[in-house]
Structure 1
């Protein structure tokens, strides 16, 4: 594994938990280029806690915004302009996990969406999706938005209770690899997450 971008079909689908599991499994570095909202801590802090990574593996955000909303609006409220020139993939030794914010068409500024940024990077993307009602539509729309921009899609990872028909339908119609599914974990601990990831995913699929 080199660099993998983790994005989602929506907000709160489980991107950060999946990113933590992936980074922990590979001993990867982690980077979230834009953090919007930090009242409950940052995603970098959550990944550190769940993945057990050393502090030097957790790269600082390019932008850390206070308001928990779309990055373009959070930046406006904070009086900041998000400059895409600062959102260049870091050069690191070893694997890197990069996490987006919200869904693939979330705006970073008035002119750029996350999917546009992913297209610039040309790093393989893992799309994280819920298994709940509505996931077929959200997932296929996200796949189409990425593919239209020429973004390489490594596969789709599901979060939640098993829904075999929905998961298979998305993989078939979207022509993407179904990587696996993480159950919702309660309690969510580093050990439980690592065990669930190992059981649900084949690390060779991320090479």
Structure 2
């Protein structure tokens, strides 16, 4: 295993926090290839602040906080999937997508198309909130239909054991753990929360 891809069921589900914790736990490098929105702290900056891991620069830094294809068009650009090949690193690389699986990178391609090219194991981050069964099932179905290797699902939010187990059973996927809501976004709080993540299974990813 040289690369792990972190995607989510949508925006704001906790991908960046999970990616930061995973990079710290596995002593991996971190890369977010496309950043849309620069006014607040970027995801790369957040990961850098929470970990001591190596962070790679984004391939596209887009000012507008919008879907990547719109943020690129705002600058007169078109995101080129050929420019988003996985970088070579020493050791494990954690790659974070933007939003969900079907977020468009340009008018023809989605993040799903990029994940299909890469063929790296994918971890899906999902909330435990109402509606998550539908969002998670749709995301897993899209990934599998495209031939992406799915390692499992990480949940984010208060415990909902029946909902979490329903997703595992109905979608035939692995439960890789759940992150409790953090009292504060800090390195110690994140390391404590990560005790609930199944790192042994993640380390054994092909």
User: Which band: TM-score by shorter chain?
Assistant: over 0.9
Q: Which residue of 1 aligns with 2:202?
A: 206
The whole-number CA distance in structure 2 between the counterparts of 1:138 and 1:194 is 27
> Which consecutive unaligned segments of at least 5 residues does structure 1 have?
none
Any idea what SS the aligned residue of 1:110 has? Answer: coil
Q: Within the alignment, does 1:140 sit opposite 2:137 as a pair?
A: yes
Find the residue that maps to 1:144 and give its secondary structure: helix
> 1:19-57, CA deviations, whole angstroms, 9 ceiling, x for partnerless residues?
00000001110000000001112100000111232xxx1
The correspondence for 1:152, drawn from 139, 146, 149, is: 149
Offset from partner CA, 1:154-188 (integer Å, 9 cap, x none): 10000000000111111111111000000110112
Secondary structure of the corresponding residue to residue 6 of structure 2: strand
8 A Cα contact 1:130 1:160, kept in partner: yes
Instruction: State the 1:2 CA deviation.
Output: 2.5
1:101 equivalent to 2:70? Answer: no
Q: Provide the rounded CA distance (Å) in 1 between the counterparts of 2:60 and 2:168.
A: 34
**3-state SS in 2 of match to 1:19:** helix
Query: Does 2:27 correspond to 1:27?
Result: yes
Secondary structure, aligned partner of 1:58: coil
Match of 1:73 in 2: 70
Q: Is the 8 A contact 1:124 1:153 kept in 2?
A: yes
Structure 1 residue 78, shift from structure 2 partner:
1.4
Runs of 4 or more consecutive aligned structure 1 residues displaced over 2 Å after TM superposition: none
Aligned length: 203
Structure 2: tracts of 5 or more residues without a match: none
Return the alpha-carbon distance in structure 2 between the equivalents of residues 123 and 18 of structure 1.
Answer: 17
Pair 1:115-2:112 in alignment: yes
In 2, are the aligned partners of 1:3 and 1:124 still within 8 Å (CA)? yes
CA-based RMSD? 0.8
Q: How far does residue 147 in structure 1 lie from its aligned partner after superposition?
A: 0.5
* Aligned partners of 1:36 and 1:67 also within 8 Å: yes
Q: Distance in 1 between matches of 2:17 and 2:125?
A: 10
